[in-house]
Structure 1
Amino acid sequence: MPIDPSIAIGADLGSRTFSWTESDVLLYHLAVGAGSRPGDNLSPTALRYTLDDAALQVLPSFGVVAPTFHETDPPPLDLPGCDIDLAQVVHGSQSISVSGPLPTSGTASVRTTLTDVWDKGKAAVIWQEGVATAGPDGAGEELWRVRSSIFVKGEGGWGGERGSATPVLTPEREPDHLSSYAVTPHQALLYRLCGDRNPLHADPAFAAAAGFPAPILHGLCSYGIVLRELTDGLLGGDASRVGGFTGRFAGVVLPGETIRVAGWRDGGQVIGSATIAGGERDGSPVLADCVLSLA
């Protein structure tokens, strides 16, 4: 069987040490659309993402990509008990929680564990969790925690646990925030410089073999775009007010399309949603079950 839950669940994927610089932070912010609107080059609020001065801040979603930011090979899928094909894999969901504002540069260590494998019949869902701590030996304070799932088409049906998920319902009222972001034709090519060289996002032939009409935008790029739009629209652009962000990847985005982002204040959190705006796919889901928790 390509996936053996008895081996996969609980497997320790080890730890890795990584470093990042202000330049990495700036590139990541540009890749998720910061500084792209007219006047952003003169706006003190917008420049907190794109200018390496004392006011530079870090969007918490950067923590998701920081450990692999300098990778130049396609992401490996060497997971214990999982013999799977990259072309059959899509990102299912992603969350991050931060212990405080992320430093603009530093060194940390992250330890990752496979926590669950769900059998969805015609697909499998593999969950992993990572904890990042400061310092080259990981002996420092906890910086952030990430949890993510991948959806592996064609690998279910062994009679395993199906798992469960509770959908996040958006309030039945007008959103407190509504904005749109026009994805540039080169957005995926820019974002892949943040450490995700999966050819699905750059190679037309590979994308066609996977069943897509063109290379698609990275799910984590959409994730970062939505978090930034909600942060800018409801938190005054102050990334330090974000305590965490969760989202489920509900659909694809093609470069050149526009993402519509809606957000609702809901006590100590923000509930969000993202859909395609305009064109033949108007209203198609992008990111669902979005929750931005406040620090």
Structure 2
Amino acid sequence: MPIDPSVAIGAETARTIFSWTESDVLLYHLGIGAGSRAGDNLSPDALRYTLDGPALQVLPSFGVVVPTFHMTDPPPLDLPGCDINLAQVVHGAQTITVTGPIPTSGSATLVTTLTDIWDKGKAAVIWQEGVATSPEGEELWRVRSSIFVKGEGGWGGDRGSAEAVVVPDREPDLVASYDVTPQQALLYRLCGDRNPLHADPDFAKGAGFPAPILHGLCSYGIVLRELTDGLLGGDATLVRGFTARFAGVVFPGETIRVSGWREGDQIIASAVIAGGDRDGSPVLADCVLSC
């Protein structure tokens, strides 16, 4: 069978030693739309994302991508016990939890383990967890993610469980919009994700999409940035964690509308397409920002 849970679950999938610089942080922030609004080039708040120096801060979602930031090949799928290919795969969910502010430059080791495989009948969901540690052995952040693999379910395995995040029954404390640029995916792919699904029209059509789609992690970063700016005064150091489920696709040129509700030490959020033929189509769901 293409997926063998007895081999996969518990296997270490990667041990990556990596480093980053302020330039990597700046490129990542530009890739998720920081500095794109009129006046951002003169705003001290906006420049905290886009100008190197003592005021530069790091949005925690950077920790998800930095281990593979300098890769130029499409992401590998050589997972133990899993014979799958990129055309079958979409990102399912993503979580990052930080122990403190991510430094603007540094080095770390990420150890990733395959923790669960769910059988959804017509698809499989594969979960991985990674822990990033400093050269001194201190935990810096922890990531957990899932991929949805089309056509690989049906072996009678555990279907898994997921508890939906309930959006408060009141007006949101924040409604913000971000206009995805036509070249957004082409810029974001320079952050280490060269999956042709996000750049090659022929590959995208072969995967069932009419055109290349925006990286799910780009939408993830955009939404976290909008919530941080709109409800945390733009202070990324207040973010302790962010989790979201990828509920739909975004095509470059569309607008993402972000809604956020303050709930104690959390912000509950959702993101949808605003305007056009796909108005209201989901982008991210089950979003929780911990602060």
TM-score tier, shorter chain, comes to: over 0.9
Q: Are residue 268 (structure 1) and residue 265 (structure 2) matched?
A: yes
Q: For residue 232 of structure 1, report the CA deviation from its aligned partner.
A: 0.2
Q: Show the counterpart of 2:101.
A: 101
Q: Give the alignment partner of residue 166 of structure 1, picking from 149, 163, 167.
A: 163
Q: Show the counterpart of 1:251.
A: 248
Give the secondary-structure state (helix, strand or coil) at the position aligned to 1:261: strand
Q: For residues 272-294 of structure 1, what are the alpha-carbon distances to aligned partners after superposition, in whole Å with 9 as ceiling and x for unaligned?
A: 00000000000000000000000
Q: For residue 140 of structure 1, report the CA deviation from its aligned partner.
A: 2.5
Q: Which runs of 4+ in 1 moved over 4 A?
A: none
- In structure 1, what residue type is equivalent to 2:20? W
Q: Show the counterpart of 1:36.
A: 36
The percent of aligned pairs where both chains have the same amino acid is 81
Q: For residue 14 of structure 1, report the CA deviation from its aligned partner.
A: 3.8
Q: Show the counterpart of 1:13.
A: 13
CA distance in 2, matches of 1:42, 1:167: 40
Q: For residues 76-120 of structure 1, what are the alpha-carbon distances to aligned partners after superposition, in whole Å with 9 as ceiling and x for unaligned?
A: 000000000110100000000000000000010000000000000
Q: Show the counterpart of 1:57.
A: 57
Q: Show the counterpart of 1:111.
A: 111
Q: For residues 175-213 of structure 1, what are the alpha-carbon distances to aligned partners after superposition, in whole Å with 9 as ceiling and x for unaligned?
A: 000000000000000000000000000000000000101
Q: Give the alignment partner of residue 287 of structure 1, picking from 250, 260, 284.
A: 284
Give the secondary-structure state (helix, strand or coil) at the position aligned to 1:23: helix
Q: Are residue 278 (structure 1) and residue 275 (structure 2) matched?
A: yes
- Structure 1 residues 84-233: aligned runs within 5 Å: 84-135=84-135, 139-233=136-230
Q: Are residue 239 (structure 1) and residue 236 (structure 2) matched?
A: yes
- In structure 2, what residue type is equivalent to 1:199? P
Q: For residue 248 of structure 1, report the CA deviation from its aligned partner.
A: 0.2
Q: For residue 4 of structure 1, report the CA deviation from its aligned partner.
A: 0.1
Q: Show the counterpart of 2:82.
A: 82
Aligned length: 291
Give the secondary-structure state (helix, strand or coil) at the position aligned to 1:272: strand
- In structure 2, what residue type is equivalent to 1:266? E
TM-score, structure 1 as length reference: 0.98
Q: For residue 156 of structure 1, report the CA deviation from its aligned partner.
A: 0.1
Is the deviation greater in 178-187 or in 10-19? 10-19
Give the secondary-structure state (helix, strand or coil) at the position aligned to 1:40: coil
* Consecutive unaligned residues in structure 2, runs of 5 or more: none
Q: Show the counterpart of 1:22.
A: 22
Give the secondary-structure state (helix, strand or coil) at the position aligned to 1:81: coil
- In structure 2, what residue type is equivalent to 1:126? I
* Consecutive unaligned residues in structure 1, runs of 5 or more: none
CA distance in 2, matches of 1:201, 1:142: 32
CA distance in 1, matches of 2:68, 2:219: 18
- In structure 1, what residue type is equivalent to 2:238? R
CA distance in 1, matches of 2:164, 2:14: 32
- In structure 2, what residue type is equivalent to 1:243? R
Q: For residue 73 of structure 1, report the CA deviation from its aligned partner.
A: 0.0
CA distance in 1, matches of 2:184, 2:142: 27
CA distance in 1, matches of 2:127, 2:59: 24
